[in-house]
């Protein structure tokens, strides 16, 4: 089936659920158990975890003025430290190696799959032979 106009809608259909459950839009702790597998198959999940850990892990105390506290509606600051933010988003500290390894493996798999698909397409009768 050679319909390049379907590429963008198909990509959106495949990537949107992975982005939705990456932790950026829906908190890691709020993902239903039957959809948790979507997190672990998402490049966005591991990327968001790494970026958040880089930003907040050693952040220390976050300054909060009385005006900031009043803006939350509760009269107190929403987050007092970077660790509070990581707990809120459900990001566990110390899993950097796992996340980097998962990203490298996923990207390697995608590259190999693309090469195989391109070569298979080129070898089809009527396909480009690259001459």
pTM for the predicted model, two decimal places? 0.74
Q: Which domain holds residue 61?
A: 4-123
Return the structure tokens found at 85. 């933010």
Helix (H) or strand (E) holding 34: none
**pLDDT values of the chain reduced to their tens digit, one per residue, 131 residues:** 577 788 888 888 888 888 887 877 888 778 888 888 888 888 988 998 899 888 888 888 888 777 777 777 777 788 888 888 888 888 887 788 999 999 999 999 999 999 998 898 888 876 555 54
d(CA 91, CA 86): 5
Whether residue 60 lies inside any domain: the answer is yes
Q: What is the DSSP letter of 94?
A: T
Query: Per the structure, how many domains does the chain have?
Result: 1
Whether residue 100 lies inside any domain: the answer is yes
List CB contacts of 130: < 8 A, sequence separation 6 or more. Answer: 122
Whether residue 86 lies inside any domain: the answer is yes
d(CA 126, CA 53): 50
């Amino acid at each position: 089936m050679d319909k390049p106009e379907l590429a963008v809608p198909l990509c959106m259909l495949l990537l949107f659920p992975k982005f939705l459950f990456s932790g950026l839009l829906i908190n890691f702790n709020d993902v239903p158990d039957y959809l948790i597998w979507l997190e672990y198959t998402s490049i966005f999940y591991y990327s968001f975890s790494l970026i958040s850990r880089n930003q907040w892990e050693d952040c220390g105390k976050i300054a909060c003025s009385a005006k900031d506290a009043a803006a939350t509606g509760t009269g107190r600051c929403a987050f007092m430290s970077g660790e509070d933010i990581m707990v809120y988003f459900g990001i566990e500290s110390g899993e950097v190696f796992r996340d980097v390894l998962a990203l490298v493996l996923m990207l390697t798999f995608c590259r190999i799959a693309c090469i195989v698909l391109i070569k298979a397409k080129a070898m089809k009768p009527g396909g480009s032979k690259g001459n």
